[in-house]
Structure 1
Amino acid sequence: MPIKTIVVGTDLGESGHRAMRLAIATARATSATLWLVHASEMGLDHSWSDLPVAARSAAQALRERLKGRFENSLQELERERKACEDVGVSCQTSCEEGRPWETILRTAVSVNADLIAVGDPVGAIGLPERLLGSTAERVLRQAPCSVLVSCGRLRADYTGARIAVGVDFSAHGLEAVRWGRDVAKAIDGDVSLLHVVPHPITESRMPTEWPKVLEGLASKARPRLEQLVVSEGLKPSTTVQVLDGPIGKTLCNAAASINADLVFVGCRGQGRLRGMMLGSASQYCLRYSPVPVLAVRP
């Protein structure tokens, strides 16, 4: 999958630095250009002309403070840009007033991005974030391209990395397989294809006939996975597994058990409410994956 332009959303803190580490590694492997995007606090361009006279001095003081923070952000972005170019990665920067996810999405559309990289969403634990989703989750739901999220353990160098790909045989899942193939080729890595037979049953309530049902489903899924290895041109050393359980949790556990360095999953971009009610493998992986997640869009 050709990657020419990567938009990196950064808060200029630890989360943003993690996103940058992944984006730089990807850009070096693909010769892509980075667009480093930061959203400044809203209010800098507001005139506040409708405020009472007595409040305007306070408003002006706030505006000066926001202006100072904006200038500091520009300086930090410039340092990040130079750091990228020091390691041979072309980088552009953008600092705009607005909400982070809207700024990231707007930039991705304007530069025709092939990939968006964002920080770890686990820190979003307040009530608004639980209801509406973190920046990473909001970007994921509306992104025009695939999204790389820097959750879990990061490697300093992804050469030879193992990629766990969740496969449900949908168009989204097949695209995740192709991304896994292409990325593995770029980094001389290995791919493991994982198919999960979904069920909400716990071990204490599992019907006695379930093992036979699972065996029948697995006997059908395994040949399909093996056929994908051939039809999509993956290396003969590609491994396949058929598992059962809640999809997101099972994928994360399997990634840990095989010591995967990246998890690739297909993303349908379903809404927050639907995801809360029905569950979403990609949303679960964003919060609980032991390693970075690439949510793939066709």
Structure 2
Amino acid sequence: MHGLIDGAIVAGIDGSSSAVQAAVWAGTEAHRRGRPLRLVQVYTLPNVRSPIAFGSPDQLREGLAEQAGLWLAGAREAVLAEHPGLEITTAAREWNPVSALIQESQHAELVVLGSRGLGGFTGLLVGSTAVAVAAHAHCPIAVVRGRTPHDPPPVTGPVLVGADGSPDSEGAIAFACEEAQLRGTELIAVHTWSDVLADGMLRPHPLEEDPVEIAAAERVKLAEQVVGWQRKYPDLAIELEVTRGRPVRRLLERGEHAQLIVVGCRGRGGFTGMLLGSTSQALIAHSPCPVAVVRPQVTGNGS
């Protein structure tokens, strides 16, 4: 089935410089994890009103496949320049990009995408398409970004994880712990709280609540969620950050000095709808560092 490899790090390639940066970032992940890298280019035959001007479908398909091969070869060369000897396979696939990536995710350990693109992946990280990949993928998805559109992704700073106490954020914490340990950096668990909401529901008497007491209670919840992971990763420095406000705003602020932000696919409280609508688009579109989206795959709390 198109050479799918269990446990590979998969990078989507579309000919853009962003995709090449994502491929190199994915190569580093593969090197850290001792996994092979799989570079995938997905192309779709366009619907044209004047097929004569573009040639026959077979000619068009042949041209797209040839271009895909060139893009894949360029990305492979860039990765090998950073990681000589890394096991790399390539695949040019004719299909819908979202469907292909979701299928790839069934076998992959991680799927990596650039923050902007062209070719088969045009618009992949805009609106419903990005949500579809993140919502239905069978493994974590990473969107590689730098502090400006043309900057490479940062390689220093802590790993941030959005933690809200929900089962969905357990998978994010597990992934973030592993990433921080592999990178030899600290993990910062970020939890935000609201005067009005508690666990995704309206507080019964918000005006009567003491903010100091709310903050203390929320910190206890975060500590309880993280304690099992601290036992599992005893050498990992984990900092707890509990703050009042909007989760995305805080993550974006802290992301200025981070090398990776990790969030769950869904949540409650401050992180409800993290991957729906404007909230997810803000994080993916404006994060100053790569963002990993993790669907729940872990039960328990690591204890």
TM-score, reference length from structure 2: 0.74
Equivalent-residue separation in structure 1 for 2:275 and 2:240 (angstroms): 30
Q: What is aligned with 1:169?
A: 165
Q: What is aligned with 1:244?
A: 244
Following superposition, the deviation at residue 216 of structure 1 comes to: 2.0
**Deviations 1:139-185, CA, capped at 9 Å, x for gaps:** 11221111011123366773x64101110011121221121211111
Equivalent-residue separation in structure 1 for 2:208 and 2:255 (angstroms): 23
Equivalent-residue separation in structure 2 for 1:224 and 1:174 (angstroms): 13
Counting aligned pairs with the same residue, the percent is 27
**Deviations 1:237-269, CA, capped at 9 Å, x for gaps:** 42211112222222212333xx11111111139
Contact 1:100 1:135 in 2 (8 A): no
2:20 to 17, 20, 38: 17
Equivalent-residue separation in structure 2 for 1:129 and 1:268 (angstroms): 22
Consecutive unaligned residues in structure 2, runs of 5 or more: 1-5, 198-205, 297-303
Match status 1:138 vs 2:132: yes
- Structure number having the greater helix percentage: 1
Please state whether the residue corresponding to 1:291 is helix, strand or coil: coil
Contact 1:152 1:290 in 2 (8 A): yes
Equivalent-residue separation in structure 1 for 2:166 and 2:274 (angstroms): 21
Equivalent-residue separation in structure 2 for 1:282 and 1:132 (angstroms): 10
Match status 1:72 vs 2:67: yes
Q: What is aligned with 2:264?
A: 266
Q: What is aligned with 1:119?
A: 114
Alignment of 1:229-240 (within 5 A): 229-233=226-230, 234=233, 235=235, 237-240=237-240
Following superposition, the deviation at residue 192 of structure 1 comes to: 0.7
Gap change, CA 1:117 and 1:15, over 3 Å in 2: same
Equivalent-residue separation in structure 2 for 1:32 and 1:64 (angstroms): 36
Q: What is aligned with 1:99?
A: 96
Following superposition, the deviation at residue 283 of structure 1 comes to: 4.0
RMSD of aligned alpha carbons: 3.7
Following superposition, the deviation at residue 7 of structure 1 comes to: 1.5
Match status 1:224 vs 2:227: no
Q: What is aligned with 1:183?
A: 179
Equivalent-residue separation in structure 2 for 1:278 and 1:25 (angstroms): 29
Equivalent-residue separation in structure 2 for 1:151 and 1:277 (angstroms): 17
Gap change, CA 1:217 and 1:292, over 3 Å in 2: same
